[in-house]
Structures are given as structure tokens and as C-alpha cells.
Chains A and B, each alone.
Chain A
Amino acid sequence: MENLGYLLAVYTIVWLVIFGYVLVLIRGQKRLRREVEQLKDALKDKATK
């Protein structure tokens, strides 16, 4: 099982990078949702004035 460390390193790095990218996507979607809510509030304020 020589060089097993290199093999495991590659599979770990691939997973970590893909998970990291998915986390970035999820954070972006959360930010977008927050902005939509803010926009809705702004529209409601305008309608009541």
C-alpha cells in the first residue's frame, strides 16, 4: 500500500474543494433571499405611504 497517502490526499482535496464551492453557493443564495426580503419590505413601506 505504498503511496496510499497521496491517493487519500487527492480524494480528500477533491471533496473539500467541492464542498467549499457548494457552501459558497448556499451562502450566495441566503444573501439573495435576504435581499429579496429587504426589497419586499421596501415595497410594502412605499405602498403604505
Chain B
Amino acid sequence: MVSKILLAVSAVLIIASLALIFVYVPTEKTMGVVQRIFYWHVPLAWNSFLAFFIVFISSIAYLWKRSPKWDILANASAEVGVVFTTLFLISGSVWAKPVWGVWWTWEPRLTTALVLWLVYIAYLLVRSYASSSERGARFAAVVGIVGFLDVPIVFLSITLWRTQHPSPVIFTGGLVPAMLLTLIVSIFAFTALYGLLLVQRVAFRKDEADLKRMKRLVESD
């Protein structure tokens, strides 16, 4: 039921977002049409941060309560977060090429974002290399908590250091109302999509864990 609602909401909002981006929003004067990448680049970044925040909270809860449900939630959110981070890195890189003249530069925002991606790739890999699933979950939870420290660094990197990346425009009145509306709709669209993917992944992981338990029971009989 929740999945169906999230699917409907994300489908409607993504269609609305596309319509606003390609039909409604005015073209930005300096960068031209390529600035429209912004309307999906920012929601992807926001949802990556949200996903890793969920990993952070769930990892603390797992280490505290040792309940597998928190590990399942953290693992699912990390996976979706890595997908979104991959996409915001790619969209940023493609945007950089026509605007900065390069696909990639080692400036603070890009570097800290790449580190974030690598941290959560490590989070997903650490489980596969652990000797037991319980041990893997514990190691991953530690990575999930420590790794989250990079999220505020990524967020604040454009104000803490001199960077090539544009300064914040969302909360400083740098967007005209049509641009702000387009961005808000896109953020909601991707948040609904994140919710949908998370719900699906959690359900899958739960079923997988149940199946493993049942297999063990059958084999032990």
C-alpha cells in the first residue's frame, strides 16, 4: 500500500518536475540552457544526504539495540544513497564541462563529495568481507556513523573554503520564484522516489533474512 502511494506520488511529481524544467522555468542568463541540470542535481544531492542521515541514525540504533531491523534499514538506505550520490557526481561532472571547461577538478566540494561516495561504497563492501553477517553489520554501522561526518563537510565546503563551485543560492534569495518552485517540486519528486526505493529495498532485505532463517531451520531438522 505504502509502495503504491509512493509510486503514484513520485510518478506524478517527476512528470511535473520535467514539465517545469523543460517548459515553464526561464533560462538562466549566464549559463544558458545547461543550468537546467541544477533542478535534478540539487535534489539528488539532498536525497543522498537524507539517505546517509538515515544510515547514521539507524547505525546508532543498531549498535545500541542490536536489532536486525535497524541494520536492514541502514543497509537499504546506504544502497539508495550510493545510487543518488553516483548520479549527483555524474550530473555535476557533465554540468562542469560546458561551464568550467573540465569534467573534473580537485576543488573542495567535488573532492569531499567523491570521498562521501567512496565511504559508502566501503560501507557496502565491509559486509561482504566480514567473517559473519553480525560482524559485518557491526563494522558497517561504525562506518555509517563515522562516514556521516563527511556530509556536513560536503554541505559547508562551499562556505568554508574558496571553491569553483557556485555559492549557495537557495536560502539567499538567488533564485526567481519560478526557479524556486521548479527546484522544490523536483526535491519532493526525488524524496518520494527515495522513499519508494527505500521501502522496496527494506522489504526485500527482510524477506531475504526470513528466507535465510527458514532455510537454516529446514537444514537443521
Contact: B221 with A14, CB < 8 Å? no
Q: Does B193 contact A (CB under 8 A)?
A: yes
Is there contact, CB below 8 Å, between A10 and B204?
no
Asked whether any CB of chain A lies closer than 8 Å to the CB of B8, the reply is: no
> Interface centre among A11, A22, A42, by most B CB within 10 Å?
A11
CA distance A11 to B34 in the complex (A): 11
- Point out the residues of chain B lying under 8 angstroms from A7, CB to CB: 33-34, 36-37
A residues in contact with B215, CB < 8 Å: 39
Total of A-B residue pairs, C-beta within 8 Å: 69
User: What is the total number of residues of chain B having a CB less than 8 Å from a CB of chain A?
Assistant: 30
Closest to B214 in A: A39
Q: Which A residues are CB-close (under 8 A) to B40?
A: 10-11, 14
CA–CA, A42 to B32, complex, Å?
A: 63
In the complex, chain B residues 162-221 whose Cβ is within 8 Å of any chain A Cβ: 193, 197, 200-201, 204, 207-208, 211, 214-215, 218, 221
In the assembled complex, A23 has its CB within 8 A of some CB on chain B = no
Provide the main secondary structure of the chain B interface.
Answer: helix
Chain B residue at smallest Cβ distance from A20:
B83
**Residue numbers in A under 8 Å from B41 (CB-CB):** 10
What are the residues of chain A within 8 A of B98 when measuring CB–CB?
Answer: 2-3, 6
Determine the distance from Cα of A1 to Cα of B22 in the docked complex, in whole angstroms.
12
Secondary structure call for the A interface = helix
B53: A residues at CB distance < 8 A = none
- Contact A25 B44, CB 8 Å, known A10-B90, A18-B193, A46-B221: no
- Report Cα–Cα, A13/B89, bound state, in Å: 12
Asked whether, in the complex, the Cβ of A18 is within 8 Å of the Cβ of B83, the reply is: yes
Fill in one digit per residue for B97-133: 1 if any A CB lies within 8 Å of its CB, else 0: 1100000000000000000000000000000000000
Q: Which of A6, A11, A29, A42 has the most chain B CB atoms inside 10 A of its CB?
A: A6
- B211 A39 Cβ-Cβ under 8 A: yes
Whether A42 lies near B218 (C-beta < 8 A) is: yes
With A17-B83, A39-B218 as known contacts, state yes or no: A10 contacts B193, CB within 8 Å.
Answer: no
Residues of A with C-beta under 8 A to B56: none
Residues of B within 8 A of A32 (CB): 204, 207-208, 211
Report yes or no: B204 in contact with A3, Cβ–Cβ below 8 A: no
- Cβ-defined contact, B211 with A10, below 8 A: no
